[in-house]
Amino acid sequence: MRARRRSAVVTVLTTVAGILVFTGQPAAQAAPEPYLVGRGISDVTGPAAENGMMGYSDFGQKTTGLHQRQRSRAYVVVDRATGDRVAYVNADLAMVFRSVQEGVLAKLQARYGNTYTRENLLLSATHTHAGPGGYSHNLAYNLSILGLQQQTLDAITDGIVESVVEAHEDLKPGSLSLGRGELTDASVNRSRVAFDRNPAADKAFFPNAIDPSMTVLKFRQGTADVGAVSWFATHNTSMTGRNTLISPDNKGYASYQWEHDDSGVRYLDDRPGFVAAFPNTNAGDMSPNLNLRPGSGPTEDEVENTRIIGERQNRKAQQIFAGAQTEVTGGVAHRMRFVDMGSVAVDGRYTTDGAPGTTCSGVVGASTLAGSVEDGPAIPGFTEGMQSPIKSLLEPLNIPVPQWLKDCQYPKASLVPTGLVQATPNVVPLQIVRIGQLHLVAVPGEVTITAGLRIRRTVAAELGTSIDNVLIQGYANDYSQYVTTPEEYDLQQYEGGSTLFGRNTTPAYQQEFGKLAASLRDGTTPAAGPTPTKPPFTELNLQTGVVFDDKAPGTSFGQVLTQPAAAYTTGQTATAVFVTGHPKNNLHRNGTFLEVQRLVNGQWTRHGDDGDWSTRYRWQRSGVANSEATITWAIPAGTPAGTYRIVHNGDWKSGWTGKITGFTGTTNSFTVS
């Protein structure tokens, strides 16, 4: 579903309604709905070949095709009484970086002026580890991708902007409601030994050492249900580091199942449809790998696990959506400021010993390089709990950690002072968004459930509201790795070693988000924060692009090298191989590299595409510049009997002129029974 041009009649009627509201007529007289509500969705999928993948820091994990497309889902809510608005985005990405925030805002403001700002736009990621990386301006997050991949960054910013534009253009009188429930079989605590270091009062809040809470926000336009946002804490890492196909992982599957399978949305059709987002909350120590091994739990098949964990989230969300709801009432508001998390003076009210403390400039610890054995180990030779650095791996970096910083970060085995050289950010955005009684605390990192609990309690106390009305929105607006409690930090498991700002990171967030909450409560403007600067090495890129495409003599681009069989039954897999060009020549964003077409009344119609769960698009080189595309369709149960064919859409680049030319290849027809 792409941005649509609204009819002149609808535009005029909406404008007139807005004038009636904003010239003082009570909103209740204009319409019973207290809000204007809009939803939108677009494609943020980057290069499907030879682009390092973001999440596991594996230099060898590069895209080789596509399982499902990554999407951005946007919602705009306007308080009709005041005109205040917020735009909320959840995208199938590993993280949101400030490079994304700045790019999106620049494009939105070129179109809408100051309608959307850092204050009222909240950008969040699902945290999939199965998408293209290289879209940060901080070197540490681009290292394993070999630098900044501008094509990936452009795809993400353009897609997010399109989703917000679509939501903006979709605004109609509507209402919101909240539902809550618990899901207990889609997460496990991957750092139980660190969780157990927390005080009994905190652990009692999570008797099973997980956060089972799911909060569902329902969007309605008039009497029509048009969208839902379902917050639940679990890592989006059912797909392991062995995978090289682009995937939105379990949360992306949850969205796909609700939208496509259950609500009939067809993403390539130019018409509105139900938009279902599944964002993360405080998922820092929550894993979907229920057996505490990568790709293990509930089965030993990572793809099947992705489907099962996604389906569990979807089914619970829909149960809550259809159950008892609480009407959302009240205004729309927001507060945001930048904070230098590398040098926060923390009041003793928030520290564990009652004495004033401080945070530290960002440092990566040895346990960070060890990775999380439950979701995906990183560099061999490092183990969780390490208390001393292995200097030999750091010699090429030649970035010593000053002693004062080692002391500040104690007991971390400090390896790289990433904050001092802006390889990771010290200055980060903190934001609180209010939609009626619901408050979203937008944290630029991965928050453990206990750290999240403490931040939520602090914010709820300042606002005078229930903790149920305060949610951590993780992976928001920027990324600065983990947020653990001081007790968890002391153990230096993976999450503690990845807590950049030292032992007092959570107390500092409690204090700074408490200030934002007080400002929101009192209607004041928060104190101006520091202005972040652009990091060095921003444009560094060692990944080669497409030089040219070639093919074997006597062949043509799009030619079918392997035809599918003449007949299949449901449950079987149809396969075709094509002569192709490099996928970087054209991302086919908001389009598709493939179609499964069905013959209906003498016309070939699109039955499936590369956004579907049942299809796979795999790319591989077959020479220096030659390549092949293998397209598979695992024919689902319930597929209508009939005649089908597979179509491949590709593009090749000339080595003489550099011109990129599109082509289409089509297989023989086959039957499905």
Q: Tell me how crowded residue 525 is: count the other CB atoms within 10 A of its CB.
A: 9
Q: Report angle CA 133, 139, 144 to the nearest 5 degrees.
A: 45
416, 394 contact by CB (below 8 A): yes
User: What is the C-alpha to C-alpha distance for residues 547 and 96, in angstroms, rounded to an integer?
Assistant: 30
Query: Which of 287, 367, 414, 480 is an active site residue?
Result: 287
Closest CA relative to residue 405, chosen from 393, 420, 395: 420
Q: With the CA atoms of 293, 234, 213 and 452 taken in that order, what torsion angle do they form, in degrees rounded to the nearest 10?
A: 110
In 521-611 the beta strands, taken as DSSP E runs, fall at 560-562, 567-568, 573-580, 594-600, 603-609
Residue 556 is which amino acid? Answer: S
E-only strand ranges, 196-328: 213-221, 224-232, 245-246, 275-277, 286-287, 326-327
Do the Cβ atoms of 132 and 53 come closer than 8 Å? yes
On the CB side of 533, CA atoms within 13 Å amount to 8
How many C-beta atoms surround the C-beta of residue 555 within 10 A?
Answer: 11
Residue 498 is among the residues annotated as catalytic for this protein: no
Give the bridge partners for 447, in sequence order: 483
- C-alpha to C-alpha distance for 643 and 647, rounded to whole angstroms: 14
Find where tokens 């005029």 sit: 12
| DSSP 3-state of 403 | helix
Q: Both ends of the chain: CA-CA distance in Å?
A: 31
Dist CA 28 CA 533 (whole Å): 46
Q: How far is CA 238 from CA 99, 148, 258, 375, in A?
A: 27, 26, 19, 8
Cis peptide before 411 (omega within 30 of 0): yes
Q: Could you tell me the CA-to-CA distances from 72 to 87, 130, 316, 398, 516 in Å, in that order? A: 12, 15, 22, 39, 27
CA–CA dist 235, 494 (Å, integer) = 14
Cα dihedral sign, 239-241-246-248: positive
Pairing mode of beta strands 670-672, 642-653: antiparallel
CA-CA distance, 234 to 280, in Å (whole number)? 7
**Beta partners for 174?**
35, 221
3-state secondary structure of 28: helix
For residue 267, which of 413, 186, 159 has the smallest C-alpha distance? 159
Nearest one of 331, 326, 74, 329 to 177, comparing CA atoms: 326
For residues 39 and 1, the answer to whether their CB atoms sit within 8 Å is no
Question: How far apart, in whole angstroms, are the C-alpha atoms of residue 275 and residue 37?
Answer: 12
**In sequence order, what are the beta bridge partners of 485?**
none
CA angle 124, 129, 130 (to 5 degrees): 110
Q: Tokens for 240?
A: 């392991």
Spatial separation of the C-alpha atoms in residues 442 and 333, rounded to whole Å: 14
Judging by DSSP bridges, how do beta strands 121-125 and 85-91 pair with one another? parallel
Catalytic positions: 287
